Structure 1
């Protein structure tokens, strides 16, 4: 009796991807079962990525990084297919984005999408990965407030979503929701609302994606918040939250808690505001700590990978040189044997043998010399690096760091309460010594003063542009801006603007009335 044919791997991963949007714990359990039984390196990379995404949705960024970079004992660089390498790069870009390292994520994606041959590849798996890369790039553009570019990236993502499976459907629906959010930021709320209504009906009729329903309702609540219809906004939040309340989508829940607290503050419901604000603060503290640990972990992993890759290349060169030497040696011995057999008494034979022995000796000498040169170059490079670290930042390097800081300032990562110069170093890929030196010399202040000024400028701008912020209490504004306390926020605000937050708000209200 013939055994049943096992399901196609594409069908299995499609199921795993569906479970990712239904319940991350079920997704992890199901995907790990597939991972144990599947021996194909390429399949393992895809399954680990799905598991990694499930952990990220739970807010467990350390485990997300760990599983996605897990390697098999027998895996080597030489075994990776072109697709596996592409998928690995996509995975790293996604990890960076999950950890808030948007600059690094953007850089990796930009490097991948410059390959014209890749962009016209007809392989289904490659096109699916390109769709995800463009979606990631759209999110990166949105974080940097370049919403027009973000919409263009989503258009490109949609072009590659041409396969008829559940994963393509989910990514398309996600793209529509992201598009609606970007349109709202471009002051096109009605256009955004039409998209949200349509995609919400599609998701509900499909009935398979709990996460997407919550995402759609959360985005719709933002529309009503902009319209200052806070009660309707709250009703959408309640409908959306009921879908994920008993599921571990902590990365989504923290957004809900934040939106709940803003809306209840706007309707002056202090009890519910404090309740959700406490939930938000506690979960944010927990996730920020995990994210910080994840950043430190991924930095170490990337450094280790680069080091191992360098060692692998060096060993490969040595093996190639050794193989060449062996081939030459056998060639020499063969010729020597021929001459010995053909004319044992020939006087020229000694000369030939001496000549070939010199060649072998020269080959050995060259190998030893090459190794010595490599060691000398490495020592010289280490010495130069040491000297470079000790010296001041060059003008070119300073300009490069200032450009990175300018891009970083657009991300609003400075609102993170746990922001430190080490986190800024990881996010900009600049060492802390250089950062400190450039901030001091160009900004005229130390790191803490620099971050605080960015926070105050940001909240002052929001108070002017978004009327809803005028209704918030100073304690919420302090929390939103990343300050540890109401008092610290007020003191810094006054030192920068010359007036207290309440005075500043009253001035704005007075100017609007006049």
Structure 2
């Protein structure tokens, strides 16, 4: 064969073989990092970081976020999950959905996690072709099963778990771990449903299998913790303690803090039942220490999601929209939903306080004095020039005004200055001057405020008036038209009759 063709064939096939070898090497290292998750999350993080590049960020982020969740470092996991990332390996969108849904599930946003997963599966569930996608789908279905379990939707959890296991055709080491984890979740579902004997059989069988591979520390300890719960339900406390201590033994020097917290708590409960106060106090304190740390982490992580930079979310959503428009709108909706959930109760309390302040201000603004003492008259006289109206006449008119206010004759829509002057047996000039002087307002304002005060008292004391039309309430208050009542009401109180009625209805 001519030398030229040898060189050409080498470049054609030899170059392809080198590329395939390079990808295979990355995949092997990724699989090793995944296996490390179940052996030591800190080692998994170190292993994943060593192979992170601009083109392989998303698969590595999948490892890093899960490792931090297993450690209980929820804040770091959230930060990494929302980093800008890209991958040329496998299904980019599916992997991002897997990462996000896991974050929401671990932070107890079960409803949001359910929406993220179900809406994605509705659109993309029929396109699972490659083995790589099958492995990602298996993990996504597993998270969905755990989420359903948290929501106590046991039948849905069982179906999702079956779909997770059915997605694993390639029986390599990594899928085998997912299958074992599915067995454990299946046993937990049975335990939650009260089928303890069936749960025990699965847990015991799984434990024997896991004991053959001592590197699967996480699943081994989790299985022992479940067996401890089963023995506790049977009131076999000594055997429960034995299982829990076996669960705890390999965890001592590994940062599986959420799992440790569960084991510490279960041990303290068993020792409490056995009245072993020393051991109870020991594990209670350990449980509370870890629980406090995890609680602060989880609280901060939930806040971190709500406080994510808006521009960063928009950029990420824009990138996803260019590839998958449906995914963009869904993620944006989830972000707004979380913000609304966080702000709803705060806004509601603020509105209540504002409404109360408005009502207090209003009642103070219409606090019309109904009595004017002789001392007040003397003070008014002494502070101004002598009046042309005799003092005795002033006192008589003020006394008659008090009777007028109590009689509610001001509700007569034909009431005028001349009409009232005639009723009080005085002239319009005297009456107008005394109202201006002692009521600090003109006649029309004086009458209108009396009417508005009467309307407010009716609305506050008899809730049936809240169902009436504004026009009817205006008529009861002595106003000749809806519009006149509305204008006067707003000028006196600062808000419309409709606004005031709505505030009263909301306060019921």
The structure with higher relative contact order (CA 8 Å, sep 6+) is: 1
In structure 1, the residue matched to 2:44 is 27
CA distance in 2, matches of 1:305, 1:71: 8
Q: Distance in 1 between matches of 2:31 and 2:136?
A: 14
**Deviation of residue 82 (structure 1)?**
7.9
RMSD: 3.1
State the secondary structure of the residue aligned to 1:114.
helix
Deviations 1:185-217 (A, max 9, x none): 111111111111111111111232111110110
Correspondence 1:432 to 2:343: yes
1:106 aligns with 2:114: yes
Correspondence 1:96 to 2:104: yes
Bigger radius of gyration among the two: 2
Provide the rounded CA distance (Å) in 2 between the counterparts of 1:29 and 1:133: 24
Give, in angstroms, the shift of residue 50 of structure 1: 0.3
Paired position in structure 1 for 2:167: 160
Looking at structure 1, the residues matched to 28 and 159 of structure 2 have their Cα atoms a distance apart, in angstroms, of 30
The 1:315/1:96 distance shift into structure 2, 3 A limit, reads closer
Question: What is the number of equivalent residue pairs in this alignment?
Answer: 323
Corresponding residue for residue 307 of structure 1: 314
SS at match of 2:152: coil
1:197 aligns with 2:204: yes
Whether 1:258 and 2:265 are equivalent positions in the alignment is yes
Q: Is the aligned partner of 1:52 residue 2:65? A: yes
- Map of 1:345 onto structure 2: none
Q: 1:278 — aligned with what?
A: 285
CA distance in 2 between partners of 1:308 and 1:239 (Å): 48
Report the Cα distance in structure 2 between the residues aligned to 1:292 and 1:169, rounded to whole angstroms: 34
Give 2:84's match in structure 1, choosing from 57, 71, 88. Answer: 71
> Gaps (5+ residues) in structure 2?
1-13, 324-335, 353-508
Q: Report the CA distance between 1:436 and its aligned residue.
A: 6.9
Q: Is this contact kept in 1: 2:161–2:182, CA < 8 A? A: yes
User: Is the CA contact 1:21–1:212 (under 8 Å) kept in the aligned structure 2?
Assistant: yes
1:103 and 1:427 in contact (8 A); partners too: no
> Are 2:90 and 2:133, in contact at CA under 8 Å, matched by a contact in 1?
no
- Distance in 2 between residues matched to 1:313 and 1:146, nearest whole Å: 31
**Separation in 2, partners of 1:160, 1:18:** 19
The match for 2:245 is 238
* Contact residue 190 and residue 198 of structure 2 kept, 8 A: yes
Alpha-carbon distance in structure 2 between the residues aligned to 1:293 and 1:236: 33
2:302 maps to which residue? 295
**Residues 299 and 426 of structure 1 are in contact (CA less than 8 Å); yes or no, is this contact kept in structure 2?**
no
Answer whether contact 1:100 1:427 (CA < 8 A) is retained: no
Distance change >3 Å, CA 70–CA 309, structure 1 → 2: closer
- Counterpart Cα distance in 2 of 1:314 and 1:427: 20
Q: Pick closer, same or farther for the CA change 1:303–1:129 going to 2, 3 Å.
A: farther
Alpha-carbon distance in 2 for matches of 1:310, 1:88: 12
Distance 1:242 1:305, change over 3 A: same
Residue number in structure 2 paired with 1:398? none
State yes or no: 1:174 paired with 2:181: yes
Distance in 2 (alpha carbons) for counterparts of 1:145 and 1:126: 28
The CA deviation at 1:302 is 7.3
Deviation at 1:437, TM superposition (A): 4.2
Compute the displacement of 1:110 (Å).
0.8
CA distance in 2, matches of 1:201, 1:125: 29
Question: Which whole-Å CA distance do the structure 1 matches of 2:60 and 2:320 have between them?
Answer: 28
CA distance in 2, matches of 1:313, 1:140: 25
Gaps in structure 1 of 5+ consecutive residues: 317-424, 442-514
- Give the conservation status (yes or no) of the 8 Å contact 1:59–1:249: yes
After superposition, the Cα gap between the structure-2 partners of 1:264 and 1:436, relative to the gap in structure 1 and judged at 3 Å, is farther
State how far apart, in whole Å, the 2-side matches of 1:132 and 1:314 are. 24
CA distance, structure 1, for counterparts of residue 250 and residue 98 of structure 2: 30
Mapped partners of 1:223, 1:57: distance in 2: 23
TM-fit CA distance, 1:80:
7.4
Judge conservation of contact 2:184–2:203 (CA < 8 Å) in 1: yes
Q: Deviation of residue 108 (structure 1)?
A: 0.2
Answer whether contact 2:90 2:132 (CA < 8 A) is retained: no
Contact 2:306 / 2:339 at 8 angstroms: preserved in 1?
no
Q: CA deviation at 1:266?
A: 1.2
Could you tell me how far apart the structure 2 residues matched to 1:265 and 1:50 are? 38
Alpha-carbon spacing, 1:132–1:269, altered in 2? closer, same or farther (3 Å): same
The question of whether the paired residues in 2 share the 8 Å contact of 1:101 and 1:426 is answered with no
Cross-structure match for 2:214: 207
Work out the CA distance in 1 between the residues paired with 2:338 and 2:321: 30
Residues 229 and 47 (structure 1), Cα distance of their counterparts in 2 relative to 1, 3 Å cut: same
Distance 1:52 1:432 in 2: 27
